[in-house]
Structure 1
Amino acid sequence: MTAELEGQLYCAQSRLAGAIKPVSAETLDPKSTEDAKKATRRYFVLTSILAVLIVPASMVMFVDSKLSESGKALVEANDKIAIPLHEALQTQRSLIVSIEKRRGAYDADRLWVRGGKPDQDASASQRMVSVADERREIDYEQALTPSALAIKEQLQVFARNNRQLYAETRWLELLSLHGRENPYGSPWMRDKATQRENLELTLPMLVRHQHSRDGGKDDQKPQGPEHSIDDGLQKLAVYQDIRAMAQNAQHTSDFLWSAIAVYLLPVLYAVLGTLAFILRDLCTRTRNQTYHASHAQCAYCTRMIVAVIVGTVIGLFDKFMDGAISASPLAIAFVAGYAVDPFFAFIDHVASVGRTRA
């Protein structure tokens, strides 16, 4: 056997031994095991820090998305109600004014005796009470007509949507670190009392009643059916402010979290997938006593850099595959970071198919 053949034989034996079980004197050294443990702790800390960043960001992005979708649905619902409600309120106001005019003329005829002199007998006060009772009964009858009931139902839905939209808009502003509570200087948002008065309905509706701003009895004052009309029109005016605030917050939130979801989170998920692979590989190498500190450190750093590149590129795709089966770009980024080699094999396959068709 010549020296050249002998050298080739030893090289082949070395490669065969490495393929079967890459254990060497260096990997069997106790220091190598300590290095593997240190590397495991280091990568575990990195994984924990990354998880602390990713999990809250993903939760906030999910909540923000749901709030934005809900806000858009509420705006769409109130937009459909606003114009018909405005027309119904104006029609109801005209009806109330007409009834009040006829009632005023009728009451004047009843409270004044013939000759234009006021009735001086003892029953005058009783007749005035009976007139007030009749007016109250007419108010209640008018409040139960189909048109009045429809207005009550629309106002109830409209005010409820206003309150929910305002609350969700405040959350969106907080999540997107944007805006302030009263960007337009609207007087109805000056304090909690005015907010409640303009977001909640005044009950009862479309009937004469005693109304107090704070719910007490000291400042009660009579309110006629027309007050409910004014209250409904005020709700429409308040909705314009809330709608503008909601759309502004939604646009800002969509821009901010879309940029994070497209350009930042895929990179973090790809790095998280790579860290999962590294920790799994460290456990396997430590158990088999095949950890080589210098080689592993170089390989792991290279894999981390590749994961950043893969995550950056994969964020540009909304859906990685066509058809019924689709996956989130963040999930694909994690899988690609964990299995870099199969991912690049897939890219090579796609590129080769493209060259073949060309």
Structure 2
Amino acid sequence: MLVLDEIETRSALPWTGLIEAIAAMFKGSCVTPIRHHHHMQVPGESDATLLLMPAWVPGAYSGVKVLSIFPDNASRSLPAIFGTYLLSSGKTGEMLAIIDGGELTARRTAATSALAARYLARADAEELLICGTGRLSLNLMQAHAVGRALKTIKVWGRNRASAEKTAADARGLGLPAEAVADIEAAARSADIISCATLSSQPLISGEWLKPGAHLDLVGGFTPHMREADDTAIRRAKVFVDTRAGAMSEAGDIVQPLKSGALTAETIHAELAELVDGTRPGRLDDRDITLFKSVGAALEDLAGAILAYEHVTGATDARQ
């Protein structure tokens, strides 16, 4: 059985291959039951979350991710997310691989945002704003830079020192990153804004979004979290990774649905419809687009299969 740690998982998930693997999975016959979402009390701290996310391609592969999210881990200099992915044969049930779930989650989340931006961001977008300085930030920068000539990447965080460090780490990877203190000014000039925070209050005002901007929201994963306000929802054409997930779990969708700023009918498409061409993405260079991702188990399965086949040279668990 293959066991991949964080570094090995990262090496086994090259960005271009991962983006294409996720696109192919959205087009395919993957089965994704509703994920299990449990709150766990941590005395004296914010509640933690336990996620169990199964998915399978009939007769080929099956898998489940066990993921924990502890928001206050930053105070301990620990990642907020820990997890493990268990990949099995979809024909025999044999366990094939144990894969680092935190790294898999970070990379597949960023790759999914980059895939959505392929359909929703302007082709000539060259300025990216990253809001947040956690694990996802570097991954989002790298993924959005795949096939896109980004000239400027701005990094904003509540902690300026963390933003400076994240920008420095990005420059070490060859990305044109700089830390910024003024989120409004950075948002007003950005072509793509990608938010990866655990905020419960909107960070991005819709009034700041320029014509042609693309807003990518990946941080909020509960109905009580929010990264953009109702004005952003009203001004933008809204897209989601999956309607079922976003409309039940994402505060950036759930709350506007309750307030009337958004209706189910005005969600233009989910990612599978963009990928298979049944619904259009951006139609005009002046459109403001918004993509809300809460994560789908098929994205994890796509990444796990890619990592397993990348390392072992296997082509299909049915062989």
More helix per residue: 1
From the two aligned structures, give the one with the greater strand fraction: 2
TMscore range, shorter length = under 0.3
Q: State the TM-score, normalized to the length of structure 2.
A: 0.20
What TM-score, normalized to structure 1? Answer: 0.19
